[in-house]
Amino acid sequence: MPRFNDGTMKVTLIQMDIAWGDAAANCRTAERLMLSAERSDIYVLPEMWNTGVTAEPQGVAEDSRGETLLWMQGMADRLDAAVVGSVAVKAQDGTYRNRLYFVKPQEKGQCSMFNLQWYDKHHLFSYGGETTNYTPGDERVTVEWRGLRFRLCVCYDLRFPMWLRNTDGYDVLVCVASWPDVRMHAWRVLLQARAIENQCYVLGVNRIGSDPVCHYAGGTSVVDSFGTATSCPDGEASVLTETLNMKRLRSFREKFPVLKEADVVCSGFGSADQGDDEEG
């Protein structure tokens, strides 16, 4: 099985169309695409990949032990890999969250049904009505997986560099999105900017197809710390498998110590590291 034992990690990004409100169909699509890819250490799905992005989660949001999470855990166990993707969730306190799950395979003998961490989207997209029914998260979340540190964010978060500022706390930024085709230039530039300024890899996963509000062209990409992007074909359901080279990244950080010389920022947000023009 893939392991972080030689300074590399294999990642697979899933660029898919999403059947509106049909979680079962979307699980089948995601499974087919994941199984078509090379075996990897982590598979990343788009924002609200199981239903499509909606400002009205009532009726589609699952609870914290819902069927979609069960499916993600099953795929993580089956592939011996992490499975990552955002889902509309009704939390135990009754609030709705745009929750990005990072699900790890369960170890032999593990008692818990789920082996996961999650990030609740902090920057809700008010322009698309997301603030009406969803509650924002207030904590940054970094997940360690097979020797790498992954910072989690969702779509609109990508526009806020201070929220994502790296103080040598992570190696890979994961951004899952439903980013419309009318702003694809911004998507590509922001992915590159976050990679360059934070000296990290960026995994940007966007959907294709259409929902009742927008059209989506994809642009799913792996971007290295130099800003060089490798991307899925626009508009096509596809998988992108790339190898992250941590020896190369660490060497670059040592030779060009941007992170050590960055300005200190006090954001005031929680604890660190824990329309037809819609952008979710």
> How far, in Å, CA of 178 to CA of 191, rounded?
14
Contact 103, 73 (CB under 8 A): yes
pLDDT digits (tens, 9 = 90+) for 115-155: 999 999 999 999 999 999 999 999 999 999 999 999 999 99
280 falls in which pLDDT band (50, 70, 90)? Answer: low
Per-residue model confidence (pLDDT) at position 47: 98
Per-residue model confidence (pLDDT) at position 107: 86
Say whether pLDDT at 267 is over 60.
no
Q: Are strands 201-206 and 172-177 parallel, antiparallel or unpaired?
A: parallel
Of 196, 220, 201, the closest CA to residue 13 belongs to 220
Task: Give the number of other Cβ atoms within 10 Å of residue 235's Cβ.
Answer: 16
Mean pLDDT of 81-86: 98
Share of the chain above pLDDT 70, in %: 91
Q: How many CA atoms lie within 13 A of 245 on its CB side?
A: 8
Active-site residue list: 47, 121, 155
Say whether pLDDT at 109 is over 90.
no
pLDDT digits (tens, 9 = 90+) for 34-67: 999 999 999 999 999 999 999 999 999 999 889 9
pTM of the model: 0.93
For domain 8-261, the question of CATH label 3.60.110.10 is answered with: yes
